[in-house]
């Protein structure tokens, strides 16, 4: 009788410790914070555009893609800017630049897509304006 009682107590303790240390589900989406350029910035053809942003996630990042898109979210071939990468850090500082071609449309968006280690994704579109 004492033997079965000890086994019951041991199993109860094991079950309790397993449930309290099991994996916590990721509830947070990754975050994207753009430092530069400011939303709705104006650039002339030939200007160099600096893009700086911070990506973060409470459980770890996986990958990112940053590109110029049109109003429908399609990659712009007239501004051939697309950067992708991977990281397993909690935060990542993105810094790149491109020169505005004379074929740039009057407005376009920098599209940031960041995926975390649990495959949760966040997307942010940042409008820019271009002219002669």
The pLDDT tens digits of the residues spanning 34-74 come to: 999 999 999 999 999 999 999 999 999 999 999 999 999 99
Q: In b/e form, how buried is each residue of 32-52, taking b as 16+ CB within 10 angstroms? A: bebeebeeeeebeeeeebebe
Higher per-residue confidence, 17 vs 39: 39
Specify the CATH number for 26-131; select among 1.10.1040.10, 3.40.430.10, 2.70.50.30, 1.10.10.60.
Answer: 2.70.50.30
| Percent of the chain whose predicted confidence (pLDDT) is above 90 | 77
Q: Residue 28: what pLDDT?
A: 87
Residue 2 token pair: 């004492």
pLDDT at 93 over 70: yes
Q: Residue 12: what pLDDT?
A: 59
Q: Residue 4: what pLDDT?
A: 62
């Amino acid at each position: 009788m004492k033997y079965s009682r000890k086994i019951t107590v041991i199993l109860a303790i094991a079950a309790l410790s397993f449930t309290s240390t099991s994996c916590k589900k990721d509830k947070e989406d990754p975050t994207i914070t753009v430092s530069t350029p400011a939303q709705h910035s104006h650039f002339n053809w030939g200007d160099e555009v600096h893009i700086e942003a911070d990506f973060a996630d409470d459980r770890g990042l996986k990958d990112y893609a940053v590109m110029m898109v049109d109003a429908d979210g399609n990659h712009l071939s007239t501004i051939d800017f697309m950067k992708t990468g991977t990281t397993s850090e909690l935060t990542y500082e993105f810094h790149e630049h491109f020169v505005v071609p004379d074929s740039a449309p009057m407005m376009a968006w920098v599209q940031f897509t960041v995926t975390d280690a649990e495959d949760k994704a966040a997307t942010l579109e940042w409008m820019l304006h271009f002219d002669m």
